[in-house]
Structure 1
Amino acid sequence: MASTYVGDFANFVIAHGAPVIFLVIALESLGAPLPGETLLVAVGTAAGIRNADLLPLFLVAWAGAFLGDNAGYALGRWFGQKAIRKFGAHIGLNEARMAGFEATFARYGVFIVAAARFIVPLRQLNGLIAGSLHMPWLRFAIANAIGAALWVGVWLFLSSRFSNLLAHLDKLHGVGIAALVLGALAICTYGVVRYRRHKRG
């Protein structure tokens, strides 16, 4: 029973999922509160179940992450400083603090941009912040490309390996179904906890 539903989902993702994957990852990278990591886990699991080639899925997700972050960078570059000058005082962003942030990005920006992929909400604000702080585009693009490749690759690879475990669990019938349900609940609970922590922060 579980294999039927999971198999149907896997077939759908492999056959029609590329535009959805690209759009969700791109919009999340631009700043939208969308479940990019959860989608990558689902896609990787589906690919593992069908023994599908991960490379096309990796390229689609990577392209969405890279282009979405670059769109955020462009918006930050064009409008970020104006927004900071207009509203920064209300959130404690004075000229001295902005100068400090710019100095930090000038020195460690490549590492910050690459690592931010794995941190919520920095992943969503990565490009906007880098553009607002006038980080050179080429440095941002290189760091962004590396960070996006690592983030997409890690989640797709790990989840595709995890699908082998799901296949074995499914052979246990009722136990397998229970494991799938518990796994889904655990993922949802984790997402809710992270969201609430982010809202409180």
Structure 2
Amino acid sequence: MKTMIALQTALQDPTPSSGGLLSDIADWAVNLMETIGAPGAGLAIALENLFPPLPSEVILPLAGFTASRGSFTLVEALFWTTLGSLVGAVALYWIGRALGRERTRRLFAKVPLMDLNDVDRVEAWFDRHGAKAVFFGRMVPLFRSLVSIPAGVTAMPQWKFIGLTTAGSLIWNSIFVVAGFYLGENWHIVEEYAGIFQKVVIAAVVLYLLYFVVSKVRKVRRARAEDAVDGPAA
């Protein structure tokens, strides 16, 4: 209860990120943590992995903030949030394993502007750099959850996936949980700076998608133009 009162006081600060969705997520996360303790932080992060709209950049500092109020220790917050990250990631990994390479190839073959050569290139890249992708991907918004699926599709050894995911998650979680612990009622400052990083990542993804679509459209047009020239000659 003390944590909830302190949280409501902090969210009265008229910052752009205060109120609205942030307030709702914060209330839900703190209620969960106050009800079942540190495992609540782990459960919230496990759900964040499965439902990326739940932002870890809010939940993790809140876990640190709640620990600073004495609901549980900092070590417990780090342990349970990292365990939650691992549980959510392993669930997605096994979704990827269930899909498998062939089913994934058939699905992507039906996507407009995609062809199997694109899938082959992605698979070849992941075969070479999958370990780095899993480890560093745990520290990148949006990709934190998604990177688990290709790891499963390409059948990365589970022991390797678990080790890389645990290490990457522990680093990411520690930064935010410890920051929330020491910032206390100013925990939302972490979310504001993390939001900037997330916007940069989103902008990079959008730019890449635009480049991909434009290049694919040009390729299709060139192929049609070549067919039109070759047709009469035949």
Instruction: Establish whether TM, by shorter chain, passes 0.5.
Output: yes
Distance 1:5 1:136 in 2: 46
Q: Tell me the TM-score normalised to structure 2 length.
A: 0.63
Pairing of 1:91-106 with structure 2 (within 5 A): 91-106=112-127
Partner amino acid for 1:61?
A: T
Distance 1:4 1:139 in 2: 39
Pairing of 1:100-119 with structure 2 (within 5 A): 100-119=121-140
Partner amino acid for 2:5?
A: Y
Give yes or no for the alignment of 1:77 onto 2:101.
no
Q: Is residue 67–residue 73 contact of structure 2 (8 Å, CA) maintained in 1?
A: yes
Give yes or no for the alignment of 1:123 onto 2:144.
yes
Pairing of 1:1-201 with structure 2 (within 5 A): 5-6=5-6, 13=33, 16-50=36-70, 52-81=72-101, 82-163=103-184, 166=185, 183=188, 187=192, 190=195, 194=199, 197=202, 201=206
Change (3 A) 1:104 1:188: closer
Give identity over the alignment, percent.
Answer: 24
Q: What displacement does 1:159 show? A: 1.7
Q: Is residue 47–residue 54 contact of structure 2 (8 Å, CA) maintained in 1?
A: yes
Q: Is residue 57–residue 194 contact of structure 2 (8 Å, CA) maintained in 1?
A: no
Q: Which one is further off, 65-74 or 91-100? A: 91-100
* Residue-by-residue CA offset, 1:158-184 (whole Å, 9 max, x unaligned): 221222xx5xxxxxxxxxxxxx69x57
Partner amino acid for 2:106?
A: R
Q: What displacement does 1:33 show? A: 2.1
Q: What displacement does 1:106 show? A: 2.2
For the pair shown, which has the larger CA radius of gyration, 1 or 2? 2
Distance 1:195 1:54 in 2: 30
Partner amino acid for 1:105?
A: F
Distance 2:163 2:108 in 1: 30
Partner amino acid for 2:125?
A: T
Q: What displacement does 1:27 show? A: 2.2
Q: What displacement does 1:35 show? A: 1.7
Distance 2:94 2:147 in 1: 12
* Residue-by-residue CA offset, 1:129-156 (whole Å, 9 max, x unaligned): 2112332322212111111111111211
Q: Which one is further off, 103-112 or 47-56? A: 47-56
Q: What displacement does 1:66 show? A: 0.4
Q: What displacement does 1:98 show? A: 2.4
Distance 2:71 2:38 in 1: 17
Unaligned runs of 5+ in 2: 9-26, 207-234
Distance 1:87 1:108 in 2: 21
Partner amino acid for 1:40?
A: L
Q: Is residue 14–residue 47 contact of structure 1 (8 Å, CA) maintained in 2?
A: no
Unaligned runs of 5+ in 1: 167-179
